[in-house]
Every structure is written in structure tokens, then in C-alpha cells.
A and B are shown apart, each in its own frame.
Chain A
Amino acid sequence: MGERLTTSTLLVTDGGVIHPDCFSHQFTSAKSRRSETWRTRLADRLTASTTLQGEGKELTKEEKQRLRKEKKQHKKNKKDDRGPPEKEKEKEKASVPAPSKPATQSPAHKAAPVPVNASASESPVAAEKPAKSKAELRAERRARQDSERASKQGKKEGGQQSTSSKPKATPNELQPVVKRLPDHVQVDDPVALKKLAKKLERQQVPLRSDYGYKVSLFSHLHQYSRKNPPTQQISIPVTVIHPSIVRLGLQYSQGIIAGSNARSVALLHAFKQVIQDYSTPPNEELSRDLVNKLSPYISFLSQCRPLSASMGNAIKYIKKEISNIPSQCKEEEAKRILQECIDSYINEKIILASEAISKYAIEKISDGDVILVYGCSSLVNHILCEAFEKQRKFRVIVVDSRPRLEGREALRRLVKKGIRCTYVLISALSYILPEVSKVFLGAHALLANGYVMSRVGTSQIALVAKAYNVPVLVCCETYKFCERVQTDSFVSNELDDPDDLIVTRNGKTHLENWQTVKSLGLLNLVYDVTPPDFVDLVITDLGMIPCTSVPVVLRVKNVDQ
């Protein structure tokens, strides 16, 4: 009677978007926990909060306070409010993390606990409350919280306070069920654009304008030209944005730094520099002010190039670490702690992870193998070089595609090591695939429904490899795992400079004046998603898992944190 859902479908519920395989799990785990409904469990899994607690366990007082503190910090960032600090502290200590708020307060609280990650960006909450003044709202909120605190004086934490009809988050989690849509996929919405413009103006970050005719299917995405870098509009000397961030943004927008790992590492190094040069203004706490300082930098970087999933996770981590700095810590000490945190993050999540992944992957490479790789993935190149050093006999076929031609870089690195290589373009894939024994692919991010987001063309390679029965192995570190879900390459993608497609052959450039031709569009996609049935194995630093186990890993990570 009931239909069996395939892995490519998603269930859209009021608790969020979930994968069908997780449905029963949510259900059974909810039954065992009388205190929470399954919806709140979903909200738990869906949202990427910095303060991830255990699954519906009772919070200690300290954790609650920490959570409240962070919420307040975020709210403060957005409203640009410099309220008296002692009042803030009192509010933080006293207020109950109430999930149910009246509608007027909901934007503020919705904004507060959701930190910046790859799929959410901060949008000015101030613009959403035109009617009331900020002081009035603050007073209102304080009064309400006092009354709620009084009413819930002796109650245990696990109770589900649902005075409002909206089934909002659990006592532990203050995330709203409906996540806010990130700005970079709302280009066709003029309201969102206006909001973004206002926010950028406030932060003194230049707004980058779109370029060229956009294919109608992608009108919701930005399309920038490499010839207009965002740094053109910045005055010299730069006062608002740190120079290393400006340099980083320029490197991103021109494509000098490309690749998920490279971008994250560059970002973390730039942040180290920022922290080094930072000095706390008087009457401010480092933990709160530094986070505020980082917001315009992040806006600027996302104007240069939309943030990747790995960068988003790194930023989340940094913000969490910064806000965990105890207030009595001296500035030098705090800076040293932060530098160490960043170093250890890079070391653990990227360098050691790649060592672990190589160890697992080398088991899968046998003598006489013909391995196919696509584009330039730092991880896959590392694996192949390690395997070559361990005296495995194999040869590599590098597949490349226009217009980025990243495969040439991979080719250079592998040939330098001494590995025997063959080089083809992606259109010759059907010709070369009968020779291939394994396909190794890198990933940009792994989505929660098992889809692999990677450079455009990866899904094609996986498709044809499946048709020829060649195993496809994806190598990905766990810090690239992402809570988002996506089923196609349209809703959330990146559009690169369309002029890259123009080529001159035999002295003729056919697309030279494509702007003048009314009905012609050029589409230069950057990413695409590969369905999990094309992928045979994912090699991560936690081990070798199937594609559909990504949400399990995410949960494990959340519990650890």
C-alpha cells in the first residue's frame, strides 16, 4: 500500500526537510523520549548551532547560561545595540530560554541562535522592525522574560513549553524550525537585495553588482565578472576591513586561491592575522567585540565569492571559540589561545585528516590499477602521491574540463612525483573509461541527504563510470560535511564569470560579442551534486562510509561537541 521512497526524494515536513531513511529513526527515538516530540528531534538535527547539546538531555545551568549569552551576543550584533552591559548580563542570567515567543519577538530570536554558516548569513534584523523603537522592544522583552521566569520557577528543563501554537525548538535548542534562506540564493527577490544592500552599507562593505545576461533558470544567483573586483570601490587606506582580508577577498574573486581546502586554510590564516592585530577597545569584552569585528569581514568575503561549506564550518568554529573566551582572560592570553585553536583546527581537520584518509585510501589501491581523477583535488593528489611513495604500481588518467582546466595543475603535480599520467578532456570520457579500474573524486561538501557537492562535471563522471561498472570513491574530510540538503544543481550553486567560455580557435572567436546578441546566454556553473547511488564509497577521516551515512557522522560530531 505504501510506496517505497527512493533515496532521491526528500520529505518536507513542518519539522524541516528530512531524508526518508531518517524518518523512522526520528520516530522511534522520539517515542523513547517522553519529553520531546519527534519534531524537536528533527530541529535538533537540522540546525547547526554553535552550542550543540546532547540529544534532549537536561542541560546544566552553566550550559544554559552559555547558550543564553551567545544568543544575546548575536542579537546585539544584529541590532547594533550598545545596551548597558550589566543589564545584559542580568538578563542573560535570568532569562529562561523560552522557545515560544510572541510574533513580534520572533525575528530577533530567530536571528539570534543561528550562527553564520555556509547556508545562513546574517541579515539585519533592525530593518525588520520599523514600527517599534529598540528601547521599547528591549523593555517589552525583559518584562516578558521576567514573567515567564516567575511562572517557570521550579520547572525542570525538559518540559516542552508550547504556549504558542508554533512548535518551536526544544528547551535545549533555540533554533526555529524554518531556517532562513541565505542571501546569495535570493538575488531575484528585491526585498532581500535591499536588505543586503542596507546591511553592507552599514558595515561599509562595497556591494558587488551582477554582470551580464543571466540564464533564466539561474536568476536567483549572483553572476560576477572577474574584471570588476569588489576591491575597486574600497578606499585606500582601508579603515573598516583588515588588509589581509582585502587581499584574501581579491585572491578569491580572481580565482588565485581555489579549492575547498585552500580557501579554508587561507581564511584561517587571515583570521589569525586579524586576531593578532586586534586590540580590545575600552569598555568592551574581547569575546563579544571580536565577533562583531568579524562580521563585516565575512560579508566582504562573501561578496567576493560566496562562502564554501568548509569555510562556513571554519567560521562557526572560530566564533564559538571566541565567544568561549572567559571574560577575565587577559588580551594577550586570549589571543594566544585563539591562535592555538586555529592552528589545531587546521592541523586536526585538514592535515591529519588527509593523513588518515590516505591511509584508508591506499588500502583500496592495488598494483596494476588505472585510476581516474577529475580536476584538481588536493586530497586526491595527496593520496596518489602517498600511494606512489609506498611503491604501489598504478597509472593515472586525469580528466579535465573547460573552462577552468584545473586538471592541468593536477597533472603537473603528479608528473613531478613521477607518476605515469594520461590526460583527456571530459568529452573523451566514454573513450577512456573502458581502461579504468577505479575512479577517485574529491568533494567540496557532503550534504545531509547523501548527495556529493563537487566541481561541475563530477556527477557526469560518476554517471558514466556507473554505466561501465567502475567503482567510484569519493574522498572528503569530515569538516566539509554540511547540514544542508539539495537534490539538484539549480537551487544553490555558484555562477562563474561567463566570459570564461569564450575561446579563440583558428583565429575566430564566435562568442566574442555575446552580450550584444539578445537571445544568447552563457552558463558557467561551478558546482554540481552527485546522487548517492552513483557513489560506491566515501573515504573520510572517520573511516570508510557509504554516502547515506553522512547524517550519522554529523550527529556523532554534534554529540562530541
Chain B
Amino acid sequence: EIHEPEEVSVWFREGSSCCQETLARNQRFTETPVNMPGADKETDLSERIESFLSELKRCGSGAGSLRGSAETARETTALLRRITAQARWGNAGELMEIIRKEGRRMTAAQPSETTVGNMIRRVLKIIREEYARGSSEETDQQESLHKLLTSGGSSEDNFRQHFTHLKANVIEAINELLTELEGTTDNISMQALEHIHSNEVIMTIGRSRTVEAFLKDAARKRKFHVIVAECAPFCQGHEMATSLCKEDIETTVIPDAAIFAVMSRVNKVIIGTQTVLANGGLRAVNGTHTLALAAKHHSTPLIVCAPMFKLSPQFPNEEDTFHKFVSPHEVLPFTEGEILSKVNAHCPVFDYVPPELITLFISNIGGNAPSYIYRLMSELYHPEDHEL
């Protein structure tokens, strides 16, 4: 009877997917008397995880993300820190198992929100590093090419040793990661003046908070003109335009169909993206591929402002997981009537942009060419963690 209500409430919160381990854990802990501090922490943690998962599921439908990727990344990292602090684990291997498990659930909740998976992989890499530091006290943990070639079989060298300070070190490293995340937008906007000169015409599409900050920072010192493609059907370009106008930046809103028509007068194209893929390509809001092709035709540089937490080890070949669709009601509203039953309407959210069309990536660690992305990825993530 004591654990009956707990089960039911967990079931409702989970929705369709049910996780046996969490249920079991809850059951286990509700059997013990309630005034043990460990029990509180556990339920509290699982509650937070559940609420985070439901947030993820809810914000996925329609209109891009209701919360920006930076926010999602920060929340994921904070949650992982909490898991590290509060979950029960004895050694690094167990911790990694727990995090991997939670990570799988989180990525399953919203597959298109790749920042979640990226943060999990970062934390796993942190744990590996801390463990390696603990076990061998080597300061340079960078996996150089030489090491990669010669080491070979250090894969699951069990991570079973127990270190007293592992938890503290990991939590400290995660805190560093969090501070890094706080400062990404500022780092990127600091580079704005190096790339924008006066009297330029800059084109962008949709709404990206990174690009917004980038342009606003440049506008403090330089005068330039921005053309925003509105990006139907969600028309986020309108928000971007009004926000830029508040800083007195000359802005023009154009419909998507006019992108090629005005491209001949544009000096630079600066866009944001949802994900940077492992081959240097982008998964960006729909319409970006057309923009990139038009820029290539007119030999206009295409600059992508993307913080490092958007870099994902995925490749664009997985057809069924790459595209995300929302209700075709955005494209052909229900008011159109009978014709809806005879017609297929599609409303994809993302576009793939191949790396050949991109000139430059500006991220919080500086500017990079698309051909360098693979190397950055190997510094951020461990190859074993590509598959969670």
C-alpha cells in the first residue's frame, strides 16, 4: 500500500514509456522508513529527472525550441552534476553506467535535441579523464594521434578502481563545464568585430540567439544593414527583426521566396544552426540549404555561429532520424476544407547543409573551417561514447 501511489504517479509522469529500474528503485526506497536522508535524495533526483524528460518531450513540437539550446545544455549538465552527487555509485564504471542509462532515456525523449546527448558525452569524457588522472596522475590527458595509434586496448580497462576524490574532481570538472557553457554566447559575440565591417549587408534566416548577440555586439561599433528571411511557416524571422531593431540596426524582412533575388546585394550570410554534424555539415532550420546554395552561387561567404556544445558525433546518413516533422496544419491549415483529405502536406523542420557550402564556423573557441570539425570532435568526445 505504501508504494502503490508512488508507482501510479510515476507511471503518469512517464507517459507511454515506462522504466522498470526507476519504478523498482522507487519501490525499494519507499519500503524503507521515510526519514532516511538517502531516500529523500533518491526520490528527489528521480523526480527531477522525470520532470526534465517531460519538459524535453513537450518542447519538441512546433516552432523550433521554446527554450534555446544553451538553456537545455545547462539544464542537462546541472542534472548530470546532481546525478553524480546524489546517485549511488562506487566507482567510475558504475557512474558511467548510470549516466549512460539516463542519457539514453533523455535522448529518446527528444531525439532532435542533440545538445542533451552532447552534454552527456562531455560528462562521460570528463569522468574518463578524471579517472585516468586519478589512476596514473598524468597531467596531459590529451589523446594525441600517437597515443591513439599505440595504445589500442585501453578500452574498458574496467574503470573499477575506487578513488576517494573522484566524485569531487568530477563535480568540479562539471562545474567548469557549466561556466564554459555560461560564457559561450559572449565568447562568440566578442569575435563579431573581426568579421563585420561597416556598411555591410548581412543576411540571416530565422531566429538564432547566438547570431542575434553576434550582430548586436557588432552594431555597438559599426553600422550595417541586416536582411532577415522570415522562414515560413513559423516566421521566427519576424521576432529576430524586431529584436535587432531595438538596437537600431537597419533591418529588412523578406519572404523566403526572395532569398535568391536579393542575394546579389548581400556581402555575408551569417546563420545559426541547431546541430553541427560530425562531417562539418549542419542540421539547421528549413530553408537554410536554399540560402547556402544561393550564397555559393554568388560567392558570398557563409558563416555559421555555433557554440561547441552543438557539435554532435552524428552523421547525416540516418534518414529516419534526421528529419523531424511537425503538424502539416502549419502549412495547409484546417480552414482549407475538404481538399486536405486529398493532398499530402509536409512540414519538415530541419534541413541538411553539406560542408562544401560553409565557409567558416565561429564558435566559443574561435573560428574554424568545416574540414577541422572532426578534430574538434575527437577532443570533446571519446570515440566509445559516440553510441550511448
> Contact string, B324-344, partner A, CB cutoff 8 A, digits 1/0?
000000011000100100111
Given the interface pairs A415-B339, A464-B289, A528-B260, the reply to whether A521 lies near B232 with Cβ below 8 Å is: no
CB 8 Å contact bits of B218-258 with A (1 = contact, 0 = none): 00000000000011111100110110010011111111111
Q: Which chain A positions have C-beta within 8 A of B264?
A: 488-490
Across the interface, name the chain B residue whose C-beta is closest to A488: B264
Question: How far is the CB of A290 from the nearest CB of chain B, in Å?
Answer: 40
Interface string of B189-225 (1 = CB under 8 A from A): 0000000000000000000000000000000000000
Residues of A within 8 A of B345 (CB): 422-424
B21 to chain A, nearest CB (A): 38
Q: How far does the Cβ of B26 sit from chain A's closest Cβ, in whole Å? A: 37
Q: Which residues of B contact A262 (CB under 8 A)?
A: none
Interface of B is mostly: mixed
In the complex, chain B residues whose CB is within 8 Å of the CB of A456? 255, 257-258, 261
Contact pick for B351, options A430, A519, A529, CB 8 Å? A430
Q: Is the CB of A431 within 8 A of B348?
A: yes
Is B255 in contact with A501, judged by CB distance below 8 angstroms? yes
Contact pick for B255, options A215, A490, A521, A524, CB 8 Å:
A524
Query: Does B293 sit at the interface, judged by CB under 8 A?
Result: yes
B209 to chain A, nearest CB (A): 16
Q: Which residues of B have CB within 8 Å of A430?
A: 286, 289-290, 351-352
Residues of A within 8 A of B257 (CB): 401-402, 426, 455-457, 460
- Summed over the interface, the residue pairs from A and B with CB atoms below 8 Å come to a total of 160
Contact assessment for A217 and B343 in the assembled complex, using a CB-CB cutoff below 8 Å: no
Given A402-B257, A519-B251, A503 and B238 touching (CB < 8 A)?
A: yes
- CA–CA, A528 and B259, complex, Å: 10
Contacts A456-B261, A463-B297; A428 near B286 (Cβ below 8 A): yes
Mark out the residues of chain B between 343 and 362 whose CB falls within 8 Å of any chain A CB in the assembled complex.
343-348, 351-352
Looking at chain A's contact residues, the main secondary structure is mixed
Residue numbers in A under 8 Å from B290 (CB-CB) = 426-427, 429-430, 460, 463-464
B101 at the interface (CB under 8 A from A): no
Q: Bound complex: CA of A463 vs CA of B298, how far in Å?
A: 11
Inter-subunit contact B346/A503 (CB<8 Å): no
A459 contacts the other chain (CB 8 A) = yes
Cβ of A94 under 8 Å from chain B = no
Select A215's contact among B231, B252, B336, B351, beta carbons within 8 Å. B252
Q: B28 contacts the other chain (Cβ, under 8 Å)?
A: no
Chain A contacts for B287, CB-based, 8 A? 426-428
Residues of A within 8 A of B259 (CB): 460
Between B232, B234, B242, B261, the greatest number of chain A beta carbons within 10 A of the residue's beta carbon is seen for B261
Which single residue of chain B is at the shortest CB-CB distance from A521? Answer: B252
Q: Considering the chains assembled together, what is the distance between the CA atoms of A469 and B290 in angstroms?
A: 15
Please tell me if A132 contacts chain B, counting CB pairs below 8 Å. no
B160 within 8 A of A: no
Report Cα–Cα, A522/B238, bound state, in Å: 10
In the complex the two chains form, is B261's CB within 8 Å of A431's CB? no
A402, A505, A520: most-surrounded residue (chain B CB, <10 A): A520
A431 touches B286 (CB 8 A): yes
CA gap between A517 and B251 in the complex, in Å = 10
**Chain B residues whose C-beta falls within 8 Å of the C-beta of A528 in the assembled complex:** 258, 260-261
Instruction: Check B294 for interface membership: any CB of A closer than 8 A.
Output: yes
Q: Does B24 contact A (CB under 8 A)?
A: no
The answer to whether A421 and B343 have CB atoms under 8 Å apart is: yes
Interface centre among A423, A427, A428 (most CB of B within 10 A): A427
Instruction: Using A431-B351, A460-B290, A488-B264 as known contacts, say yes or no to A522 and B253 having CB atoms under 8 A apart.
Output: yes
Query: What is the CB-to-nearest-CB distance from B333 to chain A, in angstroms, rounded to a whole number?
Result: 10
| Beta-carbon contact of B242 and A511 below 8 Å | yes
Find chain B residues with CB under 8 A from A489 CB.
Answer: 261-262, 264
Give 29 CB contacts A-B under 8 Å: A401-B232, A401-B257, A402-B232, A402-B256, A423-B344, A427-B231, A427-B232, A427-B351, A430-B290, A431-B348, A456-B258, A456-B261, A459-B260, A459-B261, A460-B259, A460-B294, A463-B294, A463-B297, A464-B289, A489-B262, A490-B264, A501-B230, A510-B238, A511-B241, A517-B242, A517-B245, A519-B248, A520-B252, A525-B258
Q: Which 4 A-B pairs have the closest CB atoms?
A: A457-B257, A427-B287, A430-B289, A401-B257
Residues on A lying within 8 angstroms of B by beta carbon are 215, 217, 401-403, 408, 411-412, 415, 421-432, 455-457, 459-460, 463-464, 467, 488-490, 501, 503, 505-506, 510-511, 517-525, 528-529
B residues adjacent to A (C-beta < 8 A): 63, 230-235, 238-239, 241-242, 245, 248-262, 264-265, 286-287, 289-290, 293-294, 297, 323, 331-332, 336, 339, 342-348, 351-352
With A431-B286, A525-B258 already in contact, 20 other A-B pairs whose C-beta atoms are closer than 8 Å? A217-B265, A402-B232, A423-B331, A423-B344, A425-B232, A425-B331, A426-B257, A427-B231, A427-B286, A428-B287, A430-B290, A431-B323, A456-B257, A460-B260, A460-B261, A511-B253, A520-B252, A522-B252, A522-B253, A525-B254
